[in-house]
Amino acid sequence: MNTYARQPVAFARGQGVWLWDEAGKKYLDALAGIAVNTLGHNHPRLVRALSEQIARVIHTSNLFRIPVQEAAADRVAAITGLDEVFFCNSGLEANECALKVARKYGHDRGVAEPAIIVMEKAFHGRSLATLSATGSRKVQAGFEPLVQGFVRVPLNDLEAVRQVAAHNRNVVAVFIEPIQGEGGINVARLEYLRGLKEICDRHEWLFMSDEVQCGLGRTGKWFVYQHAGFLPDVVPLAKGLGSGVPVGACVTGGRAKGVFKPGNHGSTFGGNPLAMTAVVTTIDTMRDENLLASALKVGDAIREGLAAGLAGLSGVTEVRGRGLMLGLELNRPCGEIVARALDAGLVLNVTADNVVRLLPALIMSESEGREVVERLVPLVREFLAQPAKAA
Ligand code: PLP
């Protein structure tokens, strides 16, 4: 179907943070498949583990025990600090699972029409329920009627949540991306997250942290809520969890533990031996190669490099983000920077019309990070030097 506005480039192979197109041109990859290729391209340990698993068995079924799924679940429980894991295949599926957990939690407590607080500018996926939770009319338009049961508030506004709490007895959960990715790298303040958690505790709501894009080590800790210093009840994951092998997970603990019983949820592919090998190998390699600390260090270097290289340039609104999840906001739509960057051998993305987004692999070195800055700064300068187009 005609669902993507694609760039006219096809990548034929990759190595680390580098990609080569079909003509042999080399690119520095600062996008990692939109926060997916945690270990970069062609990581020898992942290639070996996946190859060996493919030769043994790719898929069995959740009708049977899957030991590598148990091993993956133990690792996910250990890094999240939570108790239960449901494996699926994508971010929207992880979020669907979270939304079902919230509704079931409500019904178990006698709330017949449970409502979930969601944020403006959030992105949670493109299934009917997750696009209804998403705070973007562009994503929703044409797919009405939307799924009911969401109450939307602005990010970083605790008073708005208190108002909802005072007037809506049906609320059972808050669902938040602690750093909004598609919405433009909008960072929830840590005091805000802590305040939100307090409100959840007071009303016995679930705190559900969509870490599909921002989680898995990218910000220097395994998860953004760990920067705020508390445990949520539900954490949907995907993207970087399998370093490129499609896999998602909905992780529960706290008040959400034990909400699902046999028969409440399921997936044919979810948690199969191939995907689970990717999860185990990704997490073990991240630990062994100390990639969390590295993500923070390299991310800081890129952010500081961009801030210094673009200092005083009118048209640059802000450089923001944490670790290797960075946004450079300009004062005008800048989608054309994507093609200009490809010409210059740099892979990046523009989101929310005017935010250049960087989500490199966690194996990016400091010198490769500096090279991102060296390639991007002149592109932005050139772009801003031309007259702004009339809206
Ligand atoms: N949640 C967040 C925060 C995302 O960034 C995305 C995808 O960009 C999704 C959910 C949906 O993930 P998927 O595209 O794997 O369905």
Burial class of residue 290, CB neighbours in 10 A (0-12, 13-18, 19+): exposed
Predicted confidence band at 388 (pLDDT cuts at 50, 70, 90)? confident
Q: What is the pTM assigned to this prediction?
A: 0.98
Could you report the per-residue pLDDT of 231-277, keeping only the tens digit for each? 999 999 999 999 999 999 999 999 999 999 999 999 999 999 999 99
Distance CA 69, CA 62 (A): 10
> What is the position in ligand 1's atom list of the atom closest to the CA of 214?
3
Predicted confidence band at 390 (pLDDT cuts at 50, 70, 90)? low
Is a pLDDT exceeding 60 seen at residue 391? no
Among this protein's residues, is 239 annotated catalytic?
A: yes
Buried (b) or exposed (e) across 134-145, using 16+ Cβ within 10 A? bbbeebbeeeee
pLDDT at 185: 98
Predicted confidence band at 279 (pLDDT cuts at 50, 70, 90)? very high
Could you report the per-residue pLDDT of 133-191, keeping only the tens digit for each? 999 999 999 999 999 999 999 999 999 999 999 999 999 999 999 999 999 999 999 99
Asked whether 123 lines ligand 1 (CB < 6 A), one says yes
Is residue 325 within 8 Å of residue 218, measured between CB atoms?
Answer: yes
What's the Cα-to-Cα distance from 273 to each of 50, 66, 279, rounded to whole Å? 10, 7, 10
Could you report the per-residue pLDDT of 56-96, keeping only the tens digit for each? 999 999 999 999 999 999 999 999 999 999 999 999 999 99
Q: What percent of the chain has pLDDT over 70?
A: 99
* Nearest CA residue ID for atom 14, ligand 1: 91
Among this protein's residues, is 123 annotated catalytic?
A: yes
H/E element, 359: none
Distance CA 302, CA 324 (A): 8
Averaged pLDDT for residues 315-337: 98
Distance CA 200, CA 81 (A): 18
List the alpha helices (DSSP H) in the chain: 32-35, 44-56, 67-80, 91-108, 128-133, 137-140, 158-167, 190-203, 224-228, 273-288, 291-309, 337-343, 366-385
Average predicted confidence (pLDDT) for the chain: 98
- Of 118, 185, 213, best ligand 1 pocket probe by most atoms within 8 Å of the beta carbon: 213
Averaged pLDDT for residues 100-122: 98
pLDDT at 152: 98
DSSP secondary structure letter of residue 160: H
Cis check for the bond before 154: say yes or no (omega within 30 of 0).
Answer: no
